Amino acid sequence: MLEIFIQQTQAMRRHVEMLDALFKSATEGIIVVDSWGAIQLVNPKAQELFGYEEGELIDKKIETLIPQRYANKHVSHRMNYAQAPKARSMGGNFDLWARRKDNSEFPVEVSLSPFSTSEGDYVVSFIIDITSRKKQAEALIEANRQIQHLNADLEERVRMRTRELAQALEEIEQSKQEVMRALEKERQLNDMKTKFVTIASHEFRTPLATILSSASLIGRYIHTEEDEKRQKHVQRIKSTVNNLTEILNDFLSLGKLEEGQIRNVPVLFNVADFCTELVEELRPVCKENQVMKYTHEGEKEVCIDRHLFKNILINLLSNATKYSGEGKDVLLNTQLKEKTLLIEVIDQGIGIPEKDIPYVFDRFFRAHNSGTIQGTGLGLNIVKKYIQLMEGTVDIESQINLGTTIRIQLPNCC
């Protein structure tokens, strides 16, 4: 009997040693709590997971290892579990989080197994840190999201490519028209070059011939009583030189605009006084019995580019007098309304054919009814570029033999 008892005792010791080795070497955290939730046993892995030294957790409530925001609810869950304990996993459809000694948190997976001894009821918890698994799961979710995004992108690309292929036949059919349009554009460019040469040649040759003729005639008038005739030709020369100067200014302005040398520099000034003075300066260009009238409404202080504004008005008012007959008035109206300066230039001249109106701001374009009236076809093109530079808009209305109205809106920078 003694021998059997010794054998049983040795076997029990081996079992205890084996269980102790399993408890201490387990790769999962193991915590045993009593029916009151007090921690009774903690294996080394659990101490490592939670950052405690040996013995620090003994007799502490299990809620010590649960994030504060969940601790109160956990007490009621633990008490409910104690009423009907059974082996189960915790968490279900939600994430479980544990709290380390330094209050940092990490995701865990927990399994519970109840057991009883002569000393009472206990629950053993098996705890696994699933941080790596969770990161992998999140990485997998992100990878799936990216794959879905790529799939959606690929599907969209396929749809776009399908549409492109569907349009291919139509584009092939249109290619001939595109070639024809390209040829038409080239022809228009060549026409533009030809117009430039023709206009420049005509606009310079005619005034130069006038100057040469007048200069020759002046040389013949040597007597004092012929002074009136000399002055007549001197005036012709001055007028012709002024015309040449205007033509050169158009070409120079266009060149500066193309090269980006002209800038919009707003300054504050009295628009009513400015326009009144300008109208007075331009009265000499009016024909016989032509009257240039000016009106203004609203506040008078504006902040726009004074130089560009002057060039615009000079060009439009000069055109209005040039294309209007004797005794036909030219009107200039300005109105400062909120943050916008409204300008109207109205004449009672020959008007513009309806079919020509869409092209009046094109370079070198001259209306078909302009006849022998001098012009390069650059003035309105330059005016529009000035207006665009000032971030404004221009609009034109015209009727044959009734006149033309040009309306401009410029932003007031004040």
Tens-place pLDDT, residues 63-103: 889 998 888 888 888 888 888 888 888 765 678 899 999 99
Burial of 353: CB neighbours in 10 Å, binned 0-12, 13-18, 19+: middle
In degrees, to the nearest 5, what angle opens at C-alpha 98 toward C-alphas 94 and 100?
A: 165
Q: Which residues contact 33 (CB under 8 A, 6 or more apart)?
A: 39, 40, 62, 122, 123, 125
Q: Which of 133, 134, 86, 136 is nearest to 111 (CA)?
A: 86
Burial class (CB in 10 A: 0-12, 13-18, 19+), 341: buried
| In contact, 217 and 232? CB cutoff 8 Å | no
254 or 9, higher pLDDT: 9
User: What pLDDT sits at residue 238?
Assistant: 58
Say what the pLDDT of residue 224 is. 58
**Beta carbons of 69 and 57 less than 8 angstroms apart:** no
Contact 332, 344 (CB under 8 A): yes
Query: Which pLDDT score, from 0 to 100, does residue 406 have?
Result: 92
Evaluate the CA torsion angle 377, 397, 346, 382 in order and state its sign: negative
Angle subtended at Cα 158 by Cα 156 and Cα 159, rounded to the nearest 5 degrees: 65
Task: Decide: 404 and 322 in contact? Cβ < 8 Å.
Answer: no
Q: Does residue 379 or residue 384 have the better pLDDT?
A: 384
pLDDT value at 58 more than 50: yes
DSSP state of 117: E
**Per-residue pLDDT reduced to its tens digit, 108-155:** 988 888 988 888 889 998 998 888 888 888 888 888 888 888 888 888
Q: Which residue has the higher pLDDT, 90 or 208?
A: 90
Cα 82 versus chain centre, distance: 64
Highest-confidence segment of 169-178, 197-206, 330-339: 330-339
Q: Cite the beta strand spans of 254-350 per DSSP E.
A: 267-270, 292-298, 301-304, 330-337, 340-346
CB 367, CB 356: distance < 8 Å: yes
CA-CA distances (angstroms) from residue 329 to 324, 325, 333? 8, 9, 13
| Coil vs helix vs strand at 298 | strand
Quick: pLDDT tens for 314-353. 888 888 888 888 888 899 999 998 889 999 999 988 888 8
Structure tokens at 229: 């005739």
- Alpha-helical (H) ranges within 26-100 are 44-50, 68-83
pLDDT of residue 133: 84
Q: pLDDT at residue 273 above 90?
A: yes
Long-range CB contacts for residues 248-251, cutoff 8 Å, separation at least 24: 250/376, 250/378, 250/379, 250/382, 251/200, 251/376, 251/378
pLDDT of residue 390: 87
The pLDDT score that the predictor gives to residue 408 is 93
Instruction: Locate 323 and state its tokens.
Output: 């294309």
| 290-324 pLDDT, tens digit each | 889 999 999 999 999 888 898 888 888 888 888 88
pLDDT above 70 as % of the chain = 73
End-to-end, the C-alpha distance of the chain in Å comes to 116
Given a cut of 90, is residue 269 above it in pLDDT?
Answer: yes
Contact of 102 with 51, CB cutoff 8 Å: yes
| Strands (DSSP E) found in 210-339 | 267-270, 292-298, 301-304, 330-337
Q: What pLDDT, on a 0 to 100 scale, did the predictor assign at position 245?
A: 57
**Whether the predicted pLDDT of 190 surpasses 70:** no
Q: Rounded CA gap, 339 and 304, in Å?
A: 11
Q: How far is CA 209 from CA 194, 240, 306, in A?
A: 22, 10, 36
Whether the predicted pLDDT of 369 surpasses 90: no
Quick check: 16 pLDDT over 70? no
